[in-house]
Amino acid sequence: MDAIAVYEGADEPVVTEKPRPEPAPGEALVRTLRVGVDGTDHEVIAGGHGGTPAGEDHIVLGHEAVGVVEDPNDTPFEVGDVVVPTVRRPPNGANEYFARGEPDMAPDGEYHERGIVGAHGFMAEYFTSPAEFLVEIPSALAEWGFLVEPISIAEKAIEHAYASRSAFGWEPESALVLGNGSLGLLTVATLDESFDRIYCLGRRERPDPTIDIIESLGATYVNSNDTAIPDVPEAYEPMDLVFEATGHAPHAFETIEALAPNGVGALLGVPGDWEFEIDGGRLHREFVLHNKALVGSVNSGYGHFESAVESLSGLSAEFLGDLVTGIHGLDEFEAAFADDDTTIKTAVEFIAYEER
């Protein structure tokens, strides 16, 4: 079968031939429909994040998949069920994090991430997975199912942010999303119902399709060239929630200054090493005297996938059509990895739902 992989030392993905996987006991065989591409895939391709499975010279890409059960094997699934796989797998049999159903809380070394680190991903015509890592979704969502995983990332971070504010009567009204990439835009759409006022920060000038999407969602675009993050409270308003999805390391600290008293910042970016100066005393004081919180958040668990399915079903066709700028077959898969200002969210399509 065809798969899309990146080889060690290469800086772009290629189509490669792999044997079709055989489901082991407890695993289903899934025929892949679509697999999304995000900033992490670009980091894996560039060699800045993740790593190939042990003893191999390549990794099959893809962690945002949707597929159809082809062979349920001995699992409770039925042929034709539409499923989305979760990303993490235990490296050497189960460990306490997986046993608790919290693989997203496992530290380095206690997990592989399919398509990212230590395990092949889903960008192949077929994949197998233990049933416990497959989330069934309504067939009506098959077309957009590759968005469940990235939405689940936002669901987890938001849950942890709220949990950090659960000791008192927190009634958030304003939210600022840092980053107008696919994660940032999906988060703006997901937050839509919960906040009175939503802002999204980027560094693009108009006209720009991501700014159009932000405004079509009723949110306010903040141009970081005009307004630095510490100036956001003065220029707009102090933010009850900041959701960082740029991977720009100074934003982690600038978030503290954008927060309202009692606010919380969720950090999701994965920057490389980066040294810069900050006024640590001022930030420390600001943090303590205003009861602020920062939470880091990575990956997501089964329950976050279920919440994401719910959120996805509430997103408008107009928003999804604007966000997804390209669905590319294997014959033009390179286009799914384009990294320009007109490409927002893309997916590689292995087979259309209707044609399988």
The H-or-E segment that residue 190 falls in is helix 182-191
Query: What does 116 bind: ligand BGC, Zn ion, ligand NAP, none (CB cut-off 5 to 8 Å by kind)?
Result: ligand BGC
- By the rule CB under 6 A, 179 interacts with ligand NAP: yes
Are 186 and 147 in contact by the 8 Å Cβ rule? The answer is yes
Q: How far apart are CA 29 and CA 127, in angstroms?
A: 6
Query: What does 87 bind: ligand NAP, ligand BGC, Zn ion, none (CB cut-off 5 to 8 Å by kind)?
Result: ligand BGC
- Per CB under 5 A, contacts with Zn ion among 40-99 are 40
Reply yes or no: is the peptide bond before residue 19 cis, omega within 30 of 0.
no
Is 141 labelled a binding residue? no
Which residue's CB atom is positioned nearest to ligand BGC?
A: 40
Nearest to 69 by CA among 16, 135, 3: 135
Q: Tell me how far apart the terminal alpha carbons of the chain are, to the nearest angstrom.
A: 15
- By the rule CB under 6 A, 128 interacts with ligand BGC: no
Residues 6+ apart with CB under 8 A from 70: 29, 30, 31, 79, 126
The identity of residue 162, as a single letter, is: Y
- By the rule CB under 6 A, 182 interacts with ligand BGC: no
Is 70 labelled a binding residue? no
Is 342 labelled a binding residue? no
- In whole angstroms, how close is the CB of 102 to ligand BGC at the nearest point? 13
- By the rule CB under 6 A, 105 interacts with ligand BGC: no
* Cβ atoms within 10 Å of 182's Cβ, excluding its own: 24
- Per CB under 6 A, contacts with ligand BGC among 266-285 are 270
Indicate the length of the chain as a whole number.
356
SS3 at position 267: strand
Kindly tell me which residue out of 113, 240, 244, 257 binds ligand BGC, with binding defined by CB under 6 A: 113
Residue 111 or 126 having the CB closest to ligand NAP: 111
Are 304 and 159 in contact by the 8 Å Cβ rule? The answer is yes
- Site of interaction with ligand NAP (CB under 6 A): 38-40, 43, 153, 179-184, 201-204, 224, 245-248, 268-270, 297-299
Q: Which residues are annotated as a binding site for NADP(+)?
A: 180-183, 203-204, 268-270, 297-299
Q: Which residues are annotated as a binding site for substrate?
A: 40, 113, 149, 299
